[in-house]
Amino acid sequence: MTSEAFNKYLKRIRTDEKAFRAIYEYYLPKIKYHVLSKYGRSVDFEDVAHDAFTKLIRLEDPPEVENPTAWIYKICDNAANDQISARGGELPLDERVDASPPPSVKTLADAESESDYFSLVGKLERSDAEIVLLITFEGYNLKEAAEILGLSHVAARQKYSRALKKLKILLNGKR
């Protein structure tokens, strides 16, 4: 869905069921994948999705959104963090769904199994793990990951590069 189409639907989401359906059907699978890969079983995906779509419907004067996916993911991240905070907990990074990373991730991490990969990523600082997961697991490019994390392109590139070096050190220490 283009940002133009998203913004058109978003303006009508409160009064037009077709506009809601278009956004819901396009973004629900993306939200599910994002939430489960980032938060695992630490949050209830359906509650996060419900909160996100409720917020969209309640917008009286929706903003013009340049990157709808990043914007919706940020809404979901806020809802997930609210769930975690309500329970008085902090997100353990190694609590992730067993999902198959793309082949490039396996090659990149040279991990023997998916659980090894997530175990290694879970040992990184949260901000390092987030950028690695966004780029290598969720398939965002560096520019998109920078937008999602609120970083400049240069800062994201440095963070990603340093995180990969840390992963390689962890991998070498594992052997």
Q: Which domains does the chain have, with CATH numbers?
A: 3-86 (1.10.1740), 103-174 (1.10.10.10)
Type of residue numbered 116:
D
Mean pLDDT of 37-50: 80
Report percent pLDDT > 90 for the chain: 10
Whats the size of the chain, residue-wise?
175
Give the residue-averaged pLDDT of 147-163.
88
Residue in the block written with tokens 């329970």: 87
**Residue labelled with tokens 């090659």:** 107
Task: Judge whether 56 and 16 are in contact, CB under 8 Å.
Answer: no
Question: Mean pLDDT score of the chain, rounded to an integer?
Answer: 78
Average pLDDT over every residue of 56-67: 88
pTM of the predicted model as reported, rounded to 2 decimal places: 0.52
Each residue of 20-38: pLDDT tens digit?
999 998 888 888 888 877 7
- Residue 51 in tokens: 């909160």
